[in-house]
Homo-oligomer: A and B are copies of this chain.
């Protein structure tokens, strides 16, 4: 099956559904309803059904979805059925938190390299990863690492993106609170925690 033309917004929600399904599976639930999944994830059941409609019909009318089968299918669509190696650039507080983050494994994501400019950090081992000098970013292509995380201060973000692109990186998760410019074929997802925090006041009743 080919999965063309899935809207970006649906692609954005698929990993969220996957998280819900993996959680349900851990809890021993063989089937989940779109309503159950919706309640857990805080989206509408209508949205879930619409998103799933882009790539086939996984539900049995009234019987819900088969948890594991659907999780497997979503992994396949997102290409998460293989392991993806990821390079981290910037091992400050945020980068260290990323390195220590336990939540990547269920999605087949593995931080396989880490880079910094600080000579005091270079050579140190953090978990299974040894921190390397940023000049070594160019070795990524040879090492078949094609995803990158930018966790450097704002001023170094564009330069880091350039180095990653030159090294053949195809997808970047950008934590710097700034806009980075890359060739169109490279996908950038920017995480700005202020943007998420900025949604909260809307939901807070005036006191």
The residues of A with any CB-CB pair to B shorter than 8 Å are: 8-9, 11-12, 14-16, 18-19, 23, 40, 42-43, 47, 77-80, 82, 84, 86, 92-94, 96-98, 100-104, 106-107, 109, 144, 146-147, 149, 154, 170-173, 177, 179, 185, 187-189, 191-207
Contacts and interface: CB of A to CB of B under 8 A. Distances in A.
Given A147-B204, A177-B101, A205-B170, A109 B8 contact: no
A63 to B, nearest CB: 24
A88 to B, nearest CB: 11
A80 B201 contact: yes
A196 B173 CA distance: 8
Given A42-B188, A78-B199, A170-B205, 5 more contacts: A11-B199, A78-B201, A78-B202, A101-B194, A187-B204
A67 to B, nearest CB: 16
Given A11-B199, A194-B103, A204 B19 contact: no
Contacts of A101: 177, 193-194
B197 A147 contact: yes
14 contacts: A8-B43, A77-B202, A79-B202, A86-B197, A101-B177, A103-B177, A103-B192, A146-B204, A146-B207, A147-B201, A147-B204, A171-B201, A185-B205, A187-B203
Nearest to A191: B196
Given A189-B200, A205-B170, A195 B19 contact: yes
B201 A173 contact: no
Contacts of A104: 194, 197
A121 to B, nearest CB: 13
A193 B103 contact: yes
Q: Which of A19, A47, A185 has the most CB atoms of chain B within a 10 A radius of its CB?
A: A19
B93 A171 contact: no
